[in-house]
Structure 1
């Protein structure tokens, strides 16, 4: 496994210097191959889309599924240049747009802020784009990879620019809250199912979905405002949109806050459904007595 991992990392370092159109073309071919060959994961995507978009035709859902596999492959290969290309090349491919006030506060502010970054395929690009332009301490939470070499490569890639603190999920909430209360940023991806003990059931496209309530809890404990970050893969790189901070969030009702998060996330997804992370088993934890989805 280590030899394969080493060769894979060497390949990504080499790919960093290839023109983007070549990398994206390779990703397109790889994505179509994954759609055809990765049947178990394709069934996960199909099940997610059928639950979330019952009003779309079967043909339309198949189109979205094919596209999402292409975006999976392209975004993974793009980590080559995000983490290894010269800084000026990386910066030229990342466009940050949106609320000028929030963009300035991310870069220069001192108040605690949580960047709500849903699982779009550009999430690593968005993190890179924002940390390139701020010296504020920025915390991100990650899950350890099985291969230590790959784990180190991913962690170092995400810490490449800025003052980034990469915490493992098992480190607990104390360092997260401490970082916020010191005026730091938290790059948070809470639209996940981490099992019955760590989630609450709230609707996602009308389907009960076990969802981590960390956005509400961290915002309240860290006295932080929440700014949504929506990342989009484009032909020339990535477009990262910084949206206005949410008002009247959080409240004292964690479940209501988490349901609101999912409703707003649906609005972001509806603008580009094939760029959301449908390969994740979003509905793997089911309410008591409900039939399995996968």
Structure 2
């Protein structure tokens, strides 16, 4: 049964990727609009997160942001379906602006390992192809449940000669080894870790459990850190990729200081492009001791 499910999903993705880009964008927005208007768990998670993180918005403005967020989430879904099937150069052709690429070049020239920090903002699947066209990183990722889909994503995400590492003990060790030998890795900063693997630091005014993995790789200047994001340009014409050097505080030996600095940069991007963040993610599922659950 799992093989059949996987084959059906992969077949659907391949058919979907045949559609014109404008149709892909409009279908994504339509899926998001339906998610906004029809009762579903993702809509309620978005509403909860936005109510907590943007209390300054009046209810009507916040509900508009809920709708915009879910439509952008739908776009991310359909755009990613194309990125999972298309040849990498076709996906890279969607990138029309690049800012701060010299930061990456400087990090690569440093002789140290390079940790590129991504977030669930804009479209990280499009970003992956562009990033891998500039260097040969190991991309850290969480495998999907269906084996056929995982196989497809592994092939697509390694088209340009890079490697991938699943979020397992073996994957974590391979990332650490790569950084120590002066290689390049890409790691998402914002998935909620286990309690033992994270610390609570502020994110959008809320205490959020934040991973210690990236701060540990950078501590004491053992590696170079930079943020990478791919945000959607107005009108659905494509994307802008932004590189930014990690702030000095992220190299602190104090993990809470470093994690808070990392969270602060992520927050700045989220506030600049609020509807493009994946607010349907249960980012605040684990709460500090004694605090009620949100979801």
Aligned partner of 2:45 in structure 1 is 44
Q: Does 1:237 align with 2:241?
A: no
Aligned partner of 2:207 in structure 1 is 208
Distance 2:12 2:293 in 1: 39
1:207 and 1:86, CA in 2 relative to 1: closer, same or farther beyond 3 A?
closer
Aligned partner of 1:265 in structure 2 is 266
> Residues 180-230 of structure 1: CA distance to partner in whole angstroms, max 9, x if unpaired?
122211111121212322211111122111111212102238821111112
Aligned partner of 1:77 in structure 2 is 78
Q: Does 1:180 align with 2:179?
A: yes
Distance 2:161 2:110 in 1: 15
Question: Are the counterparts in 2 of residues 142 and 169 from structure 1 also a CA contact under 8 Å?
Answer: no
Structure 1 length as normaliser, TM-score?
A: 0.91
- Secondary structure at the residue paired with 1:144? coil
- Secondary structure at the residue paired with 2:278? coil
1:255 and 1:72, CA in 2 relative to 1: closer, same or farther beyond 3 A?
same
Distance 2:65 2:208 in 1: 21
Question: Are the counterparts in 2 of residues 180 and 222 from structure 1 also a CA contact under 8 Å?
Answer: no
1:15 and 1:171, CA in 2 relative to 1: closer, same or farther beyond 3 A?
same
Distance 1:109 1:95 in 2: 28
Structure 2 length as normaliser, TM-score?
A: 0.90
Aligned pairs, how many?
292
Query: 1:288 deviation in Å?
Result: 1.0
> Residues 43-99 of structure 1: CA distance to partner in whole angstroms, max 9, x if unpaired?
111111011100011122212211222222211221233232244422221235122
Distance 2:216 2:97 in 1: 28
Q: Does 1:112 align with 2:113?
A: yes
- Between 228-237 and 276-285, the greater mean CA deviation after superposition: 228-237
Query: 1:169 deviation in Å?
Result: 2.7
Query: Where does 1:8-157 land on structure 2 (aligned, <5 Å)?
Result: 8-95=9-96, 97-105=98-106, 110-134=111-135, 136=136, 138-157=137-156
Question: Are the counterparts in 2 of residues 52 and 205 from structure 1 also a CA contact under 8 Å?
Answer: yes
Query: 1:127 deviation in Å?
Result: 1.4
Question: Are the counterparts in 1 of residues 138 and 165 from structure 2 also a CA contact under 8 Å?
Answer: yes
Distance 1:166 1:226 in 2: 19
Aligned partner of 2:254 in structure 1 is 253
Question: Are the counterparts in 2 of residues 131 and 161 from structure 1 also a CA contact under 8 Å?
Answer: yes
